[in-house]
Structure 1
Amino acid sequence: MIDFEFEFQYAEEKQPTLQKVGGSIPAGRCVVLCGGSGCGKSTLLRCINGLIPQFYEGELKGFCRLNGQDTAGIRIGEIGELAASVFQDPRSQFFTVNSSNEVAFGLENHGLPQDKIRRRVDEAFRIFHLERLKDRNVYELSSGERQLISILSAWAMDTDIFLLDEPTANLDFAATQQLKEILLALKKQGKTLLLSEHRLYYLADIADEFWVMADGEIKGKYTAAEAKAFSVERRQTLSLRTLDLAEITVPEKEPLPKTAPTALAVSDVCYTYGRKAGDTLSGVSFSVREHEIVGLVGANGCGKTTIGKLIAGLYRPSGGRIMLFGKSQNPKQLQKQVLFILQEAEFQFFTGSVLHELQYGHAVTPEFEAKTEALLKSMDIGIQTPDSISSYFSTNTARA
């Protein structure tokens, strides 16, 4: 069903990202590409779905056959008829603004009759219980909700092969369980699944094999049973997360002293997107003490990112107030004091390399340059090209 062998080096990169990576996946099997960030998982999927070399430039050697058809020389759209793709950043594959139109887009592009398209789109939202996402503006959805739309779009294509690049990167626990049910249904239908993932627990009962990548190579291919039997030390060596959530323990921490001052106070904050009826956020209040670490958790679309943008001064609240160390702040004041890292980190980049990104907006003295280079070395990033910076930071921000 999927046969491939690749070597690939991105343009302007000094080292190849893939080094003679090969494999064969029979029809109806589920294979998971796993390993540390930057090991080549996403690049391998891009080679299979044709984005390399048709979109990402570089030197590609090798071959790929999908359903026995050699993909060399055929367009991305034709490859899309053989294999449906779900990208890590769903916005990078959207062609329309409306969620229902987005699910229909691929079907329209392949010339299906309108009545069949309508039935397929309605079926996609209905069987996965996502009717609440029909006819919505995709840019008013949360990142997790957009990810679900991209998954529905791939499912609607009804191809024999599905390629998914970290599909749970933006999903909450409930949505991840929904995705698990989708993948189980596809596998029962005989579909072939190839995923890159860091979260492995939801795939424990779906995957047939786990292929561990490192340094642009597939270092090992393990059956599901073998992967489940890995010791904690072995998983850490391979940069893998657990396949069993019951193994996770949360260490206890000493509470902060009650005398610690309140660093952030959010009081009755409300916010509404555009002309949308009702508040997106309504009467949100909480406080965070100095040196305290707080996690905002909840379902996709509950308002986590919105409250973060309000605290950073990127949005102006329609009601309530935000205080830092007891002083009320307006958005301009917050922008100078609060650092906000976007989920789609590449939207915050202004230069073409990691080094220049760290130096952007600073007077680059020899001392400052030495400091930034030492920081890059300490994090094992190095001075890299635009694609490397986007791939590294978007992956790690999504994981965080």
Structure 2
Amino acid sequence: MLEAKDLSFCYAGADQWALKDVCLKVEQGQCLVLGGSSGCGKSTLVKALCGLIPHFERGIRAGRVFFKGADLADLCMHQIAENIGAVFQNPRSQFFTTSVCDEIAFGCENLGLGRREIIKRLERSLERFGLDPLKEKSIFQLSNGERQKVIMAAIHAMGPDLWVMDEPSSNLDPRAVAQLTDIIKGLKQEGKTLIIAEHRCHYLKDCADRVVLMEKGRIVSDQSAKSFFSQSNEELGRQGLRWAHIPTTNFKAAKPASQVKANQLKARELAFRYGRHKPELLKGLNLQARGGEILGVTGANGAGKTTLAMVLTGLLKERGGKVRLNGELCKAAQRARRCRMVLQESDHQLFAQSAEGELALALGKGGAADGRIKELLAQCGLDHLAARRPQCLSGGEKQRLVIAAALATEPEVLALDEPTSGLDAGSLRQVGDLLKGFAARGGVVLVVTHDYEFILSCCTSVIRLDMGRATTRLPVGEMPAEMHSFLVGEAVPEGFS
């Protein structure tokens, strides 16, 4: 159905090949998983397999990609869109309208379908992806996970034979990931062909037929899914890959770090809503965190996790309740000076022309900060990329740079929103080490995350938000199987409340 022959690609202005001599053949109805470390070429290959290379991305291209015998380079984009659907990691990059229903219908309208057929497909996709309660909402009112589901529903409505996905689970909560698994199984039953680039592949264990691993723009392994998933998490870790299995036995989790002086953050009866007539997202929420701990904040998409982090760090002003930092009543403007937040999309927090320039901008101390900049770059493993443009870094490198810029100001509280989205195993460990080091120095760390592997390996405890309240706090590591149920929202382990 799809075949890449001797495919190579170098981005305009780059000095090395992003893809080199890639040969890949995918049969009708197969589910193929692309794996490998950040920067290995997965996303570039995804762009080539859905026609964005060469139609949109500028650069040097060699080789060809055939879909049902036709070279994608010879097809118009509307012909490709009829047959190939692409789901990218950042849903914002794919929106064309401002409402859920309009977005799902947009692709069908561009295919020239009749009104009745569009309505039929719209309703079917809304039901398939559980979006009916959100159909009247604006795109801007949705969480990142909800936006991802809208994009997938829009692709589903167009009915392509081939689905190409880049990190489709990166913004989804555990329950939504389980739903994604069911959706992929359903697409396979319909005879659809799927190519999925992923770091977190445990949810694909019962869906995948093949796993292809890449390194430095080349395919280095092509094996059956049965062979790949027969390997233990430890074996995969030695290859630089993320977990493929949910642990069911006790796991050695992170412990609170010892420090000389620990900061303390307390929130009492916290309330917030976006606008006077909007529903409350936070309702009488109580929370306490102290330095040395890394507190994970989880919950369903749209539960208010990101809103909570923004309120606690002063980026949003609470509508009710009180926040105390080290025992002092602290207003939003004061918290904004004493706290830092790392947003989910790192590109929105990168402004300078180089990695070292980004840290200099954060420090704002001119030449006197040179030593501190070198120290921070070394801590986040970016000292060899000091002069590199931030936009040219891999996803993991960008994330570490943004965290380093936040740490440069030595905040008392550091909040992060999905900091491991799109990260490989090595980058995940490096981000974890940065946070553990900050916590050990007495900093308060709040991590909004759905990443089960990161929670078990880095967090010391976790709370789950439900209906605007922090319902339960649970220590990490004692009971990983129960913890997974807790994160999904199915159960609260006995003895915790």
TM-score w.r.t. structure 2 length?
A: 0.75
**Do the aligned residues in 2 keep the contact of 1:163 with 1:195 (CA within 8 Å)?**
yes
Q: Which residue matches 1:91?
A: 92
Aligned match of 1:353: 354
8 Å Cα contact 2:313/2:341 also seen in 1: yes
Amino acid at match of 1:229: S
The answer as to 2:389 corresponding to 1:389 is: no
Worse-matched range after superposition: 37-46 or 388-397: 388-397
Q: 1:68 to 1:387 in 2, by over 3 A?
A: farther
**8 Å CA contact retained: 1:262, 1:287:** no
Q: Corresponding residue for 1:4?
A: 4
Match of 1:124 in 2: 125
Cα gap change, 1:252 to 1:160, in 2 (>3 Å): closer
Identify the range of structure 1 (361-370 vs 185-194) with the bigger mean alpha-carbon deviation: 361-370
In structure 1, what is the Cα distance between the partners aligned to 2:93 and 2:64?
Answer: 25
Q: CA deviation at 1:254?
A: 5.0
Partner of 2:265: 264
Partner of residue 367, structure 1: 371
Residues in 1 aligned to 2:393 and 2:247: alpha-carbon distance in whole angstroms:
34
Give the drift of 1:237: 2.8
* 3-state secondary structure, aligned to 1:296: strand
Please name the residue that 1:235 is paired with.
236
Q: 2:176 aligned with 1:175, yes or no?
A: yes
Q: 1:23 to 1:134 in 2, by over 3 A?
A: same
Question: 1 CA distance for matches of 2:381 and 2:300?
Answer: 37
Q: More displaced, 9-18 or 360-369? A: 360-369
Matched AA of 2:225 = A
The amino acid that maps onto 1:173 is P
After superposition, the C-alpha distances for 1:240-266 in whole angstroms (9 at most, x for unaligned) are: 223221357432555678x98661111
Aligned to 2:52: 51
Q: Which amino acid aligns with 1:320?
A: G
1:26-82 CA-to-partner distances (Å, cap 9, x unmatched) read 110010001111211111101222223433332222211122221114343332222
- Partner residue of 1:187? 188
| Separation (CA, whole Å) in 2 of partners of 1:344 and 1:171 | 14
In 2: Cα distance, 1:221 partner to 1:243 partner = 17
* Partners of 2:97 and 2:57 in 1: CA distance: 23
Pair 1:337 & 2:341 matched:
no
Q: Distance in 2 between matches of 1:256 and 1:371?
A: 21
Checking the alignment, whether the CA contact within 8 Å between 1:2 and 1:24 is kept in structure 2 is yes
Equivalent residue number for residue 34 of structure 1 = 35
Structure 1 counterpart SS, 2:343: coil
2 CA distance for matches of 1:353 and 1:56? 23
- Deviates most, 159-168 or 345-354: 345-354
Q: Which residue of 2 aligns with 1:316?
A: 317
What is the aligned length? 400
Evaluate the alpha carbon distance shift between residue 373 and residue 279 of structure 1 in structure 2; reply closer, same or farther with a 3 A threshold. Answer: closer
1:39–1:216 Cα contact (<8 Å) kept: yes
Mapped to 2, the partners of 1:55 and 1:147 lie a distance apart of 22
Structure 2 Cα separation of the partners of residues 229 and 119 of structure 1 = 42
Distance 1:247 1:380 in 2: 39
Post-superposition Cα deviations, 1:294-322, rounded to whole Å, max 9, x if no partner, equal 11011111010000111121111111122
Gaps of 5+ in 2: 400-417, 429-497
Which secondary structure state, in structure 2, belongs to the residue aligned with residue 314 of structure 1? Answer: coil
Contact 1:270 1:284 in 2 (8 A): yes
Which residue in 2 is equivalent to 1:162?
163
CA distance in 1, matches of 2:394, 2:257: 37
Is the 1:86–1:163 Cα contact (8 Å) retained in structure 2? yes
* Equivalent residues of 1:345, 1:390 under 8 A apart: no
How far has the Cα of 1:341 moved from its partner? Answer: 0.7
Report the TM-score when normalising by structure 1: 0.92
Structure 1 unaligned regions, length at least 5: none
Whole-Å separation in 1 of the counterparts to 2:376 and 2:13: 22
Report if the CA contact (8 A) 2:256-2:293 is conserved. no
Distance 1:76 1:217, change over 3 A: same
Identity in percent:
34
Following superposition, the deviation at residue 360 of structure 1 comes to 2.1
Kindly report the root-mean-square deviation, in angstroms, between the aligned alpha carbons of the 2 structures: 2.5
Deviations 1:139-193 (A, max 9, x none): 1111111111111111111010000100000101110011111111110111110
Higher mean Cα deviation, 178-187 or 66-75? Answer: 66-75
Asked if the contact 2:129/2:149 (under 8 Å) is kept, the reply is no
How far does the alpha carbon of each residue in 1:178-231 deviate from its partner, in whole angstroms, 9 at most, with x for none?
111111111011111000011111111110000011111111011011102224
Are 1:61 and 2:62 counterparts?
A: yes
Distance 2:270 2:231 in 1: 47
Contact 2:9 2:20 in 1 (8 A): yes
- Report the residue type matching 1:3 in the other structure: E
Distance 1:9 1:352 in 2: 22
SS of the equivalent of 1:194 reads strand
Whether the 8 Å contact between 2:233 and 2:244 is mirrored in structure 1 is no
Cα 1:273–1:75, aligned 2, differ >3 Å: closer, same or farther?
farther
C-alpha deviations, 1:352-378, integer Å up to 9, x for none?
433332332434425355445545655
CA contact (8 A) 2:374 2:383 kept: no
Native 8 Å contact 1:354 1:389 kept in 2:
no
SS of equivalent residue, structure 1 residue 116: helix
| Contact persistence 1:345–1:397 (CA under 8 A) | no
Residues 346, 390 of structure 1: 8 Å contact kept: no
1:37–1:396 Cα contact (<8 Å) kept: no
Tell me: CA distance 1:232–1:380, structure 2 relative to 1, closer, same or farther (3 Å): farther
Distance change in 2, residues 1:73/1:355 (3 Å): farther
